[in-house]
């Protein structure tokens, strides 16, 4: 039922059937011109020849993808070897997004569970509290995080004042800072679907398990978790996907050593690299990965819906 509501509605009527095309036309036209056409144009640009200092020459070329995967030496005539630079950056992005997802899950699951087991009028208040920070400017949140975590920042001050540490912890410009930033950026996406799943969960099942002498943790693992798995899965996807292509967290909290896909792409258009076809190709590879993940997750959800009846 809820899945139907989320995907566009179960309570549909046909009062405005005749006007339907006209009602939808503005949305179709706007999104076709401003989203669909640009993505197609990006695909085309990734197969064009680069113009130095930005832009393209309209001549077919596979150079962008070739540069991404193969190293042909300085003059381009050495035998092709695998180019690890960009694959490493992609791999790091996947790894960082995975770590951020795990962190969000470890903290987000108990939070979602706790909220879902509050009284019915307290639940929206808790959900509201968790989602407010999400609506604050991502840039401001990331800058705030950096300010808090700095070597001379309030967190280190506090920890040194209470005597927990003697010298400041170096958190900024580490992988962990990026993971923390990503966690901070997308946590509500983890909490909300799990919350929705736990709220629908029938606690009589847990009671039945308890009556059969299952311990509380066994009940959690063997009865509750399988029942709310689709929510957990959706949460993981919703955190992982935007984390992978993020730009602000790695740029502000990670420093130059912790380069991720977002920064690699940005540099092709805004920075010194100025290689548009290469930036378009890297974007296409990222987009393809994301679409594969989304397709896979839709299939999983459909399977889960079927299994759940």
Partner 1 sequence: MASKQFDIKTYAGFKGITLLCLVILYAPLIVVTVYSFNASQSLTNWEGVSLRWYADVFTGPESGKFKTAAKNSFIIAIIAATTATTIATLATTGMVRGGKFRFRTVSFGLISLPLMVPEIVLAVATLIFFNSIGFERGLLTILLAHIAFCIPFAYLPISARMQGIEDSYEQAALDLYATKRQAFTKILLPLMMPGIISGFLLAFIVSLDDFIITNFVKGAGVETLPTAIFGSVKQGIKPNIMAISTMLLSVSIVMVTISYFVSKSDNTK
Stretch that binds partner 1, among 60-68, 83-91, 136-144, 161-169 (CB under 8 A): 136-144
Among positions 221-260, residues that touch partner 1 (CB under 8 A) are 241-242, 244-248, 252
Q: Which member of 89, 99, 105, 130 binds partner 1 (CB under 8 A)? A: 130
Q: How far is the CB of 75 from partner 1 (least distance, A)?
A: 29
| Residue 145 makes contact with partner 1 by CB under 8 A | yes
Is 138 an interacting residue with respect to partner 1 (CB under 8 A)? Answer: yes
Residue 2 binds partner 1, judged by CB under 8 A: no
* 167 lies in the binding site for partner 1 (CB under 8 A): no
Our CB check for partner 1 shows the closer of 75 and 128 to be 128
Least distance CB 78 / partner 1 (angstroms): 30
Q: Decide: is 160 part of the binding site for partner 1 (CB under 8 A).
A: no
**Residues between 179 and 208 that touch partner 1 (CB under 8 A):** 183-184, 187, 203, 206-207
Considering only the stretches 77-85, 106-114, 226-234, 299-307, report the one whose residues sit in contact with partner 1 under the rule CB under 8 A.
106-114
Minimum Å gap between C-beta 275 and partner 1 is 12
Please report, as residue ranges, which positions from 28 to 67 form the binding site for partner 1 (by CB under 8 A). 28, 30-32, 34-39, 41-42, 45, 55
Q: Binding of partner 1 at residue 27 (CB under 8 A)?
A: yes
Question: Distance from first CA to last CA of the chain, Å, rounded?
Answer: 11
Among the listed residues 68, 89, 146, 258, the single contact to partner 1 using CB under 8 A: 146
Interface of this chain with partner 1, residues 63 to 102, rule: CB under 8 A: none
Cα separation, 217 vs 9, whole angstroms: 37
Can residue 220 be called a binding residue for partner 1 (CB under 8 A)?
Answer: yes
């Amino acid at each position: 039922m809820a899945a139907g509501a989320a995907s566009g509605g179960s309570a549909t009527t046909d009062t405005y059937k005749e006007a339907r095309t006209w009602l939808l036309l503005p949305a179709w036209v706007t999104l076709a011109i401003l989203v669909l056409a640009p993505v197609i144009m990006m695909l085309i640009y990734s197969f064009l020849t680069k113009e130095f200092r930005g832009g393209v020459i309209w001549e077919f070329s596979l150079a962008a993808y070739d540069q991404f995967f193969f190293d042909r030496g300085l003059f381009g005539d050495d035998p092709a070897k695998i180019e690890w630079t960009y694959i490493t950056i992609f791999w790091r992005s996947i790894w960082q997004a995975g770590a951020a997802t795990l962190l969000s899950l470890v903290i987000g699951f108990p939070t979602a569970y706790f909220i879902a087991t509050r009284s019915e009028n307290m639940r929206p208040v808790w959900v509201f509290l968790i989602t407010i920070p999400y609506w604050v400017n991502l840039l401001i949140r990331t800058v705030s995080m950096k300010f808090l975590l700095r070597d001379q920042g309030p967190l280190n001050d506090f920890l040194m004042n209470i005597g927990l540490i003697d010298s400041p912890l170096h958190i900024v410009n580490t992988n962990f800072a990026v993971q923390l930033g990503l966690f901070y950026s997308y946590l509500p996406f983890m909490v909300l679907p799990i919350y929705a799943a736990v709220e629908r969960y029938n606690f009589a099942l847990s009671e039945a398990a308890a009556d059969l002498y299952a311990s509380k943790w066994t009940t959690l693992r063997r009865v509750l978790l399988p029942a709310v798995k689709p929510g957990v899965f959706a949460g993981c996807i919703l955190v992982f996907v935007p984390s992978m292509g993020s730009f602000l967290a790695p740029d502000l909290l990670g420093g130059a050593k912790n380069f991720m896909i977002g920064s690699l792409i940005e540099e092709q258009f805004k920075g010194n690299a100025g290689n548009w076809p290469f930036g378009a190709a890297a974007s296409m590879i990222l987009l393809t990965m994301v679409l594969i993940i989304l397709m896979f997750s839709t299939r999983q959800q459909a399977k889960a819906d079927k299994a759940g009846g």
